[in-house]
Chain A
Amino acid sequence: MIQYILRRIFGMIPLLIGITIICFAVIHLAPGDPAQFLSSMNPKFSESAHEKFVKMYGLDKPVHVRYIDWVKRVAVLDFGESFAPDGKSVMEKIGERMPVTIYLNIAGMVLIFLVALPLGVLSAYRQNTFFDKSVTVFVFVGFAVPTFWLALLCMYYFGVVKGWLPISGLKSYNFDQLSTMGKMWDIVHHAFLPVVLSVFGGLAGLSRFARNSMLEVLGEEYITSARARGLSEGRVIFKHALKNALLPVVTILGLSVPGLIGGSVIFESIFSIPGMGQLFYQSVMARDYPVVMGVLVLGAVLTLIGNLIADISYGLVDPRIRYGKK
C-alpha cells in the first residue's frame, strides 16, 4: 500500500510539470499582455509606457526563459507577485479569496449530499412511480435552468419585493459591530440564496448517480437472496443494498476536492462574493500571469491529490479492490 502511494506521488511530478507547461504556454498564447492594459487606447498614457511595463514585468525575455524562472521560484514555493499595482503576492491574493469559496462550497456540497443521496436512493427504490418521475423533473430543472437567471429572479423577489434576504455580499457592512448571534445570523442570511441555488443546480448529478447505482444493486442476486431469506425490507435496503450502492460515492467525494477551491465566476459576480472564481477571471482578463498560474497550479495539485485520495479510499472501503498484490 505504502509503496503504491509513493509510486503514485512520484508519478504526479512529471504530470504536474506537463500541466504547468501547457498552462504557461496557453496563457502566453492569448493575445495581449499585462502591459497593454496600462498603456493602450488612452490618450493620456505615454507612448513609452508599454516598453517600460514590458521590461518591468520581464516580458521581454523569451517564453521558455520565463517559464524556467517561474519553475525555479515555484520549486521553493514562491509564486511571485501579482502584476496589479497593489503589490500583493500571489499567495496573499489567493489566501484572502480562498476561505470564502471553500466555506460556500463545503456548505453547498454537504447539503447536496444530504439531499441528493436520499432522493436518489428513494427514486431507485420507487422506480417509475410518480415520486420518481417528479424527482427526475425537479433535479433536471435545477440542472438546466441558468443559475444566474434564477439567482436574479430570487434576488428580486426575496430581496427587493419581499425584503427577506440581502441581495448580495457575504456579510453586512456593520458586521464587526454585531453581537455573536447577530454575526451568525448575518452570515447565514447572506449565504442562504447562493447556497440554496448552488444546491438546486447541483442535485441532478449526484441524485442520478445514487439512483443508478442503487438500481444496479437492487437487481443483484444477493438482494434477491436476502429477500428470499425473509429479511425485513429495511434490512435489505439499508444493510445490504445501500452499503454497496454508495461505494462509488467515495470516488465522487475524492474527485470533488479540487472543485472546493474553484468558484463559479457568474455565481460569484452576481452575488458579489469575493472568491476564487472572480479572482481567476479578473486575473485572466488583466493577463496577470503570476496569479493565473498560481490558481492553475493549485487546482492541478488538488486534482491530482483528489484522484489519489479517491483511489486509495476506494481500496480501503471496497474489499474487491486491493493494491500492490499480484
Chain B
Amino acid sequence: MIRVRFLLLAALLVFVGCSDGGSNTSAEKEVKSVKKTAEKTKDTPVNGDAFVSSSLGDATGLIYNITSDSASHDVAAKIYNGLVEYDKDLKIIGDLAESWDITEEGKVIVFHLKKDVKWHDGHPFTSADVEFTYKFMIDDKTPTSYDADFRLVKSFEVIDEYTVKITYDEPFAPALISWSMAVLPKHLLEGNDVTKSPLLREPVGTGPYKFKEWKAGESITLVANDDYFKGRPYIDRLITRVIPDTATTFLELLNGAIDMAGLTPLQWTRQIDTNQQFQNQYDKYKYLSFGYTYVGYNHTKKPFNDKRVRQALTYATPKKDIVKGILFDLGVPAHGPFKPGTLWYNDDVKKYDYNPEKAKELLAEAGWTDSNGDGILDKNGKNFEFELMTNQGNTVRTKICETLQQSWEKIGVKVDIRVLEWATFINEYVDKQKFDALVLGWNITNDPDLYDVWHSSNCGGRKLNFICYKNEELDKLIVEGRKEFDPEKRKLFYHKAQEMLAEDQPYTFLYVPYSLVAVSNRFENVYSAPAGITHNQDKWWVKKENQKYHFEP
C-alpha cells in the first residue's frame, strides 16, 4: 500500500516535476537527481571511497542498547543488527532473523535466525547471543532506558542454536519491532560490568561496518565489513566528524569537506541555489520528517478543559501561514499525530482552517466575551490571558509562539511568551504540570502505538501525557490497537483515534516539517523513500573516476 503510493509519488516527480509545497527550483533539482539515479544504476557498483558525515555532538558510547543520544545511535546502527528491521517502505523485514512465526493470537513469537552470521571478531552468531541480549536488557544493573518492551516478555526459550521462542502474557503488536534492538556479543560481554566494558569504545557487532578508530571530540571511523552477511558495503569507510556548530557544518558542506548534511529551510531556499560550489557537488533531497510540532494545553486548568476553547484556539491558528512564514513552505500542516502518507494516517478528519470569526463564536458559546471593552475576552470578571511556554535554543518554536501571540490577540486572547532552558522547562514546569500551554514537538515512531503520549493512565508525574488529556473511548482504542498484529486491521483503530483527537483538539497540531538533506553527488544509488534516505546506505557506491578518498588496504 505504502509502496504503491511512494512509486506514484516518484513517478509524479519524474514526469510532472512538481511536489507538494516545494519551490520550483528545488522540485526541478529533485527531478534531476531522481533521473540521474535511474541512469546511474545501470553500471556495476565498485568498492572504494569514504563517506564523511558530521554530528553536532560526540558519541557518548558505542554499545547501542545503553546510549540514548542520536550521535551514538547513528554510528552504532552501522555496527550492530537487530533481529528485525524496517525496510525502505517501513515494512518489518528480517535482519538477523531469517523468518518468524507469530502464534497463539500474537502471544508467541518464534524467530528463526540466519545461519553463517559472524561477529566482527570471527565468532559465530547464535541464539545464545539473542538470549544474552534479552537478559542484558532486563538486568537492573544495565544502564538502559529501553527495557520496558523487554520486561513484557513472559518467557524466553532457546529452542536450538538458531531458533528462539518468546512468549508474552498478552498480544502486544509493538513487540515484534522491539526486537530490532541491537543484538550484543555474549562471548565478549557476559560476566563483565558493561559500564567498564572496552566494547563501549571499541564495539564488536555483526553489522555492515567494523569499528576502526575513535578520536574523542574529533571523529569516529568505521571500515567496511568484508564478511557482512548481506554482502560487503561498497563504501570503504564511514567517517563521522564532530562539528558542534551548525554554521560551521554548513561552511564545511559548501567546502565539500562533508558528504551529507541536513539543511535548514533558510539554507535550502535562500543560501544554496546561488552557490555554484554547492550546485556542482551536491544533490538535494526532501522528504517528510518523522516528527510534528504542536501546541499542548494543560487539561487540568481552566479554561483549557473546555473543548470549545481548544477548538477556538485551533481555529485562530494560521497553520498555513506558520508553515509558509517560518518554514518557507517546507512542511505540511498537521491534523493528528501521524505522518501524512503513511498507512496509519487518516486524512478524513475534522480540520480547522483558519477562521477567527468561528473562533470567537465558539469562545462566546463557552462564555468568553469582551464585557468591559478592553479588547481582551473575559468571563466572570477574569480576563482570558495565559502563558505560552517553549524551550530555549529552538528559534522555530520561539517564532511560532510569537505568531500565535499575534493571531490569538486578534480574537481577544492575551498571551505571554516564556522561553526556558530545557532542563528547567521539563523538570519544573512540564513534569509538575505548572504550565498553561506549550509549544513542543514529538517524534513520529514507525509503530503507531499511542499509549505513552495519549493514554489517560500516563497523566501526571514524569509521564508523557503531561497535558492530562483523558478520553475513555480513546483509551480503549489504544489498548485494542496494541493487540492487533495485522497492519490493515490495526490501522482502523488509529484512524478512529485520529477522528477523536481532531474533534477534541487536546493539542493544536501544527505541522510536519520536511527533512532537507544535501548528499554529495558522487554517490550512486541514493534515493529517498518513506524510511528516509540512508535506508540503503550499504548499497551506495562511487564510480572509480569519482572516488575522492583512497586508503591503503
Contacts and interface: CB of A to CB of B under 8 A. Distances in A.
B464 A85 contact: no
Interface stretch (B3-11, B239-247, B347-355): B239-247
B145 A272 contact: no
A97 B242 CA distance: 14
A287 B423 contact: yes
Nearest to B193: A87
Interface in B451-483: 452-453, 462-464
A269 B431 CA distance: 31
A48 B140 CA distance: 10
B248 A38 contact: no
A200 interface: no
A86 interface: yes
B267 interface: no
Given A40-B426, A41-B464, A96 B216 contact: yes
Contacts of A96: 216-217
A25 interface: no
A105 interface: no
A209 B547 CA distance: 55
Contacts of A278: 217, 244
Contacts of B59: 86
Given A85-B63, A278-B244, A167 B252 contact: yes
B243 A168 contact: yes
A271 interface: yes
A42 B449 CA distance: 13
B146 A44 contact: yes
A38 B241 contact: no
A167 B60 contact: no
Contacts of A282: 57-58
Contacts of A97: 216-217
A170 B422 CA distance: 31
Contacts of B257: 167
A168 B248 contact: yes
A94 to B, nearest CB: 11
A84 B61 contact: yes
A43 to B, nearest CB: 4
A156 B443 CA distance: 34
B163 to A, nearest CB: 27
- Kindly name the residue among B63, B146, B147, B217 whose own CB sees the greatest number of chain A CB atoms within 10 A: B217
B128 to A, nearest CB: 24
Contacts of B159: none
Interface string B128-145: 000000000000100111
B176 interface: no
B242 A272 contact: yes
A43 B445 contact: yes
Q: A56, A87, A271: which has the most chain B beta carbons within 10 Å?
A: A87
Given A49-B147, A52-B140, A85 B61 contact: yes
Nearest to B146: A44
A272 B244 contact: yes
Interface string A164-176: 0001111001000
A322 B200 CA distance: 56
A45 B255 CA distance: 39
Contacts of A160: 251, 254-255, 277
A296 B305 CA distance: 47
Contacts of B431: 40
Contacts of B195: 81, 85, 87
Interface string A144-162: 0000000010011001100
Given A48-B147, A56-B143, A270 B247 contact: yes
Contacts of A185: none
A85 B200 contact: yes
Contact of B68 (A42, A52, A93, A170): A42
B221 to A, nearest CB: 8
A274 interface: yes
Interface string B425-437: 0111001000000
B517 interface: no
B259 to A, nearest CB: 12
B61 A167 contact: no
B133 to A, nearest CB: 16
Nearest to B453: A43
B427 A32 contact: yes
B242 to A, nearest CB: 6
B143 to A, nearest CB: 6
Given A38-B68, A87-B197, A31 B428 contact: yes
A268 B241 CA distance: 14
A271 B248 contact: yes
A79 B534 CA distance: 41
Nearest to A176: B213
B90 to A, nearest CB: 16
Contacts of B143: 38, 52-53, 56, 85
Nearest to A46: B148
Interface string A75-107: 000000100111100000100110000000000
Contact of A32 (B58, B72, B424): B424
B164 to A, nearest CB: 22
A93 to B, nearest CB: 8
B369 interface: no
A189 interface: no
B67 interface: yes
A30 interface: yes
B201 interface: yes
A37 B147 CA distance: 16
Given A43-B453, A48-B147, A86 B60 contact: yes
B146 A41 contact: no
A40 B431 CA distance: 10
B423 A31 contact: yes
Nearest to B201: A86
Contact of B251 (A45, A56, A159): A159
Given A46-B147, A86-B200, A156 B251 contact: yes
Contact of A167 (B216, B239, B248): B248
Contact of B248 (A53, A85, A270): A270
B66 interface: yes
A220 interface: no
B382 interface: no
A152 B217 contact: no
Given A43-B449, A97-B217, 5 more contacts: A31-B421, A43-B453, A87-B197, A155-B248, A274-B218
8 contacts: A39-B145, A40-B426, A50-B462, A53-B145, A85-B66, A167-B252, A269-B244, A272-B241
